[in-house]
Amino acid sequence: QVQVVESGGGLVQAGESLTLSCTISGLTCADYDMAWFRQAPGREREGVAHISWSGGSTEYNYYVKGRFTISRDNSNNTVYLQMNRLKPEDTAMYYCAAGSVREWYLQPYEYNYWGQGTQVTVSS
């Protein structure tokens, strides 16, 4: 049984940093593309960052590029999202996902396995 578990969310002030972690069990992390998504109330789920199975390729949402960094440790089946210079508009539930991407790295339908999410709230 595949389990995807996110952690590290919380309440911070604008300009501060947070690091999210995602631990996967029940599959070999190194075999999959990994990504972080987020969803704010009343909005669609959007892709934030993607990392290839080797970690050699990354892609970012326009709004987070330069502030967020995705990384992975395949030996520990863990993926991270370092978030710097957080803004109130970054407030959302953040989800980790695993999949074998065919075309679009930041589209939810490309991913098969999802966690329950971790809440990030940024106050102004």
Helix (H) or strand (E) holding 73: strand 68-73
Mean pLDDT of 29-34: 91
Note the pLDDT of residue 30.
86
pLDDT tens, position by position, 77-116:
999 999 999 999 999 999 999 999 888 999 999 999 999 9
Given a contact cutoff of 8 angstroms between Cβ atoms, the answer to whether 66 and 87 are in contact is no
pLDDT tens, position by position, 53-75:
988 899 999 999 999 999 999 99
- How far, in Å, CA of 81 to CA of 122, rounded? 16
> What CA–CA distances, in Å, run from 5 to 38, 96, 111?
15, 8, 15
The CA radius of gyration of the chain, in Å to the nearest whole number, is 13
